Amino acid sequence: MCPVTVFEQDGFDLRVEWGLDGVRALGPHCAVLVIVDVLSFTTTVDIAVGRGGRVLPLPWRDERAAQAAAKAGATLTTSGLVPVDDPAGFVAEQSDGWTLRPSSLVELPAGTFLGIASPNGATLSAAAAETGTCVLAGCLRNASAVAAIASEIAGDQPVGIVPAGERWRPEQRLRPSLEDYVGAGAIAAAVTGRTAPSAEAALAVQVYRAVAERVPELLAESVSGRELAAAGVPRDVELAGEVDVSGTVPLLSAGVFSAAA
């Protein structure tokens, strides 16, 4: 039995905490953990699964990812962005293949099985599975649908929501990001049957409700949104900013995201 400290937000039935440490803190104590990586992993997973695909989340971006994808029979995607020595940091990859970018998957054929590596959403999804909890991939597009299934699965047990955040370069330290906090708040606001949200969850809900009418604009103006626009992929930001346009609920089972029944 995992020890309980203040960091698990014990005593509250709706909890929000950041990043990998948040997964480790909340996972063992929540019936459901929702991973939120709006730009771009969980948005990409929503689109892929909504098209009838499946996604193997991979916590590595090296030869281990290629080996794991090959072993599972999945097609390994690329990141879709190429690092450059420029203030923007990245430019769009010139490729016709499937990538981590959501805009590359809008015509994904049903039945496609993708291996997608990312340092944020995919890494957190794999770590969340190791805690033994039920893992869902949430974003702005499927916020209400994911909240409904999370509420149903959890029953009277706690629901945890983990905004993934981004990374400062080159140190790779966690950078709490506007888009993931708003996404977490949108999901938290739609979760039902909770009577005792933690302070962290309650604040995320209030933040989302305060800005709900401005979500696409705020994503475009955020650091992450501007970074992607500068890289030449503003369409990814537009797709990520569409709220509740999807009824897809990606559920991680046996290490693979597919649509929840």
Taking only the tens place, the pLDDT of each residue in 118-132 is 999 999 999 999 999
Q: Are 140 and 186 in contact (CB under 8 A)?
A: yes
Whole-number Cα distances in Å, 222 to 17, 50, 94, 226: 20, 26, 25, 6
| pLDDT recorded at residue 78 | 92
What residues in the chain have per-residue pLDDT under 70? 1-2, 82-90
Residues 6 or more apart whose CB falls under 8 angstroms from that of 255 comprise 56, 57, 72, 126, 129
Residues 6 or more apart whose CB falls under 8 angstroms from that of 38 comprise 139, 140, 177, 179, 180, 182, 183, 219, 240
Predicted TM-score (pTM) of this structure:
0.95
Distance CA(19)–CA(37), nearest Å, equals: 10
| pLDDT recorded at residue 87 | 54
| pLDDT recorded at residue 149 | 98
Q: Are 197 and 14 in contact (CB under 8 A)?
A: yes
**Which listed CATH number (3.40.50.150, 3.40.50.300, 3.40.50.620, 3.90.1560.10) goes with 11-259?**
3.90.1560.10
DSSP state of 109: P
| pLDDT recorded at residue 90 | 64
Closest by CA position to 137, among listed 35, 61, 48, 233: 35
